[in-house]
A and B are shown apart, each in its own frame.
Chain A
């Protein structure tokens, strides 16, 4: 059964495709008035778009790395080195410990959902 998200998506796709070379960010800004989005909605959307931009940049960086056996691990560690630059070894150990402990919790919770 069609739901409202599908109708909204269809409407946006068809609107955008009337002029497919238009700037996507300007098009999205125009939706604020059309759909009566409030400041919280626009803030949420802006944040979401920021994450999408960030994912794209990181993916582009990873895609340029020569695909050796450990390319993914090596790239990940180099990016984390950059992110944690300037921090003490103790802080870095705390950060990766926090990542590791949450990994265990996530996997345990996934099992509980099955």
Chain B
């Protein structure tokens, strides 16, 4: 949609509703996709990771997650440099989004299944995380005092929605290093969130005020 104004009277609130709805939708679509990608339980490793279990058991947003995510970033960089792993990530922004989304889903799925989070809170947390990433991605391409490159903004918006396959691979890789019970909980949680997302997406799609009818129809027709 073309915005000709952006102020408190018109444009700002409309854009806020539209962008928030978009972030809801792409989060839900990713949840649906992961329901397919994580449809089989991951093979187990004999090695169990205390760091991964600590991440799962620690409070939300307490910093343990960032440490683990940085390790994953290093692992992906090394794999990429050795042409190993076939993760096919193109750039740093996409890599970071994949890691952040995958590990967030890994944790949220586990917490949903162990009763720490109910399904609504689990999904709200996923959308919050998508929103946080979106804001930072846009912030990164807008420098104060410098003319904006609109294509860079477009690329930032596209980067919010990572490809599903590497996200699923990271979830599956992580599940190898936890106990069978935890792995099964993650697997069930991913599936449950996928199912719930299906019904949420149908209703959210109708709230797309500004996106064209053809796109709204497409989103609704997916389910």
Chain A interface residues (CB < 8 Å from chain B) = 1-6, 8-10, 12-14, 16-17, 20, 24-25, 28, 31, 35, 37-38, 41, 44-45, 47-63, 72-77, 79-80, 83-87, 89, 91-108, 110-111, 114
In the complex, per-residue mask of B178-209: 1 if CB is within 8 Å of any chain A CB, else 0: 00000000000000000000000000000000
B139 CB–A CB distance under 8 Å: yes
Q: How large is the interface on B (under 10, 10 to 19, 20 to 34, 35 or more residues)?
A: 35 or more
Please report whether the interface of chain B is mostly helix, strand, loop or mixed according to DSSP.
helix
Q: Are A52 and B87 in contact (CB under 8 A)?
A: no
Chain B interface residues (CB < 8 Å from chain A) = 1-7, 11-13, 15-20, 22, 25-26, 29, 43, 45, 47, 49-52, 60-61, 63, 65-67, 69-82, 84-87, 92-93, 95-97, 99-100, 127-129, 131-140, 142, 144-145, 148, 150-151, 153-154, 157-158, 160-161, 169, 173, 176-177, 210-212, 215, 218-219, 222
Report which of A2, A8, A9, A93 forms a contact with B4, defined as CB distance below 8 A.
A93
Q: Which residues of A contact B73 (CB under 8 A)?
A: 28, 45, 48-49, 52
**If the complex has contacts A17-B51, A103-B18, are A51 and B97 also in contact, measured as CB distance less than 8 A?**
yes
Tell me the minimal C-beta distance from A73 to chain B in angstroms. Answer: 4
Instruction: Please measure, in the bound complex, the distance between the C-alpha atom of A100 and the C-alpha atom of B161, giving whole angstroms.
Output: 14
Instruction: Please measure, in the bound complex, the distance between the C-alpha atom of A107 and the C-alpha atom of B204, giving whole angstroms.
Output: 14
Report which of A2, A20, A52 forms a contact with B51, defined as CB distance below 8 A.
A20
Q: Which residues of A contact B61 (CB under 8 A)?
A: 56, 59-60, 63
- B32 and chain A: residue at smallest CB distance: A114
Tell me the minimal C-beta distance from B98 to chain A in angstroms. Answer: 10
What are 24 A-B residue pairs whose CB atoms fall within 8 Å in the complex?
Answer: A5-B75, A9-B173, A13-B51, A17-B49, A35-B81, A44-B80, A45-B74, A48-B92, A54-B139, A54-B140, A55-B100, A56-B66, A58-B133, A62-B128, A72-B20, A76-B135, A80-B135, A93-B5, A96-B15, A97-B2, A100-B19, A104-B215, A108-B215, A110-B29
Please report whether the interface of chain A is mostly helix, strand, loop or mixed according to DSSP.
helix
Q: Which residues of B contact A37 (CB under 8 A)?
A: 77-78, 81
**If the complex has contacts A72-B127, A76-B20, are A102 and B218 also in contact, measured as CB distance less than 8 A?**
no
Instruction: Please measure, in the bound complex, the distance between the C-alpha atom of A52 and the C-alpha atom of B219, giving whole angstroms.
Output: 30
Best-buried of A44, A50, A61, A74 by chain B (most CB within 10 Å)? A44
Q: Are A83 and B142 in contact (CB under 8 A)?
A: yes
Instruction: Please measure, in the bound complex, the distance between the C-alpha atom of A94 and the C-alpha atom of B153, giving whole angstroms.
Output: 10
